[in-house]
Amino acid sequence: MRNKTILIIGAGNMGISFISSLVKNKFSNKKIIVLESNPSKDVLNLKKRKKIVLIENEEELNNVALPDLVLLAVKPNQVDNLFSLNLAKFIKRSVIVSIIAGKKTSTLRKLSNQNLNVVRSMTNTPISVSMGSSVVYFDKKTSPKAKKLSKQFLSLVGQVVEVNKESQIDTFTAIFGSGPAYVYFFIETLSKIASKNGFKQSDEMIIHLFLGSILLMIDKGEHPAILREKVTSKGGTTDAAIRSLISSDKFYKILNRAINEARDRSKKLN
């Protein structure tokens, strides 16, 4: 993989995480080409440290190597005007991986001047700590080589799962794409309750609670339901709380409804 040349288009919140992982994985600077019209301090710093080749407009494409893989990491409303004839020609033989929300493979293929190796993916923000969850969808036109390369690329920032239907990307977006926000909201809510009940610095305590519980689960290698039962003695305090969450499927229904709303929204963006 390290001998491949990668072109990242758009080095904002998501793009920079991929760039950092390429740098961490010791790709040579000539192999990490970044096309970004409005580079942040972090991106300029990487350029200064000769970790990447930065180009700020596509006229400069003539000065860089042809990429094996191109990551599209611009906002959904920026992709319609992205592919000039010059860019489409430059990346004609590259595998194009898109993480752009709501843009279908067929749309991306049309925009890219019929590049056959367009791969649609969705990911989430923990990619910045190499703990991302990503899905990837390949339609019938994608070559085996493109499938392999795109999976290898996405694995650099975390787990990758292939889905068979493009519509599953909407479900993934609702559960895993938006997932970090649910976790943060749970932390916020618990923290609010803790401070209302007189606990100072409850934010830090709640973060420890989450981190400690996850690390314990990994350490024990047990299913969360088993670990939950272990801290729930019949008739005790945890039992009272869990019964309240479970009664009439309350907690399940609230979360399920929220995820359905997110999925509907994702479908509408298509």
Ligand X SMILES: NC(=O)c1ccc[n+]([C@@H]2O[C@H](COP(=O)([O-])OP(=O)(O)OC[C@H]3O[C@@H](n4cnc5c(N)ncnc54)[C@H](OP(=O)(O)O)[C@@H]3O)[C@@H](O)[C@H]2O)c1
Q: What does the DSSP assignment read for 127-168?
A: GGGT-EEEEEE--TT--HHHHHHHHHHHHTTEEEEEESSTTH
Q: How far apart are CA 221 and CA 179, in angstroms?
A: 22
Coil, strand, or helix at residue 69?
Answer: strand
Residue 13 within binding range of ligand X, rule CB under 6 A: yes
Q: Which stretch binds ligand X (CB under 6 A): 21-29, 93-101, 203-211, 214-222?
A: 93-101
Q: Looking at residue 27, what DSSP letter applies?
A: -
- Show Cβ contacts of residue 98 under 8 Å, excluding neighbours closer than 6 positions: 71, 72, 79, 108, 118, 119, 120, 121
Pick one of 6, 14, 156, 160: the residue that binds ligand X (CB under 6 A).
14
Q: How far apart are CA 14 and CA 173, in angstroms?
A: 15
Pick one of 100, 108, 111, 174: the residue that binds ligand X (CB under 6 A).
100
Q: How far is CA 46 from CA 3, 24, 111, 184, 201, in A?
A: 20, 12, 30, 30, 36
In the shown chain, the binding pattern of residues 134 to 163 toward ligand X, with x for contact by CB under 6 A and - for none, equals ------------------------------
Residue 270 within binding range of ligand X, rule CB under 6 A: no
Pick one of 19, 36, 112, 263: the residue that binds ligand X (CB under 6 A).
36
In the complex, what is the shortest distance from the CB of residue 79 to ligand X, in angstroms, rounded to a whole number? 7
Residue 8 within binding range of ligand X, rule CB under 6 A: no
Residue 78 within binding range of ligand X, rule CB under 6 A: yes
- Location of structure tokens 């293929």: 109
Residue 73 within binding range of ligand X, rule CB under 6 A: yes
Residue 35 within binding range of ligand X, rule CB under 6 A: yes
Q: Which residues in this chain contact ligand X in the complex, by CB under 6 A?
A: 9-10, 12-15, 35-38, 73-76, 78, 82, 99-101, 122-125, 177
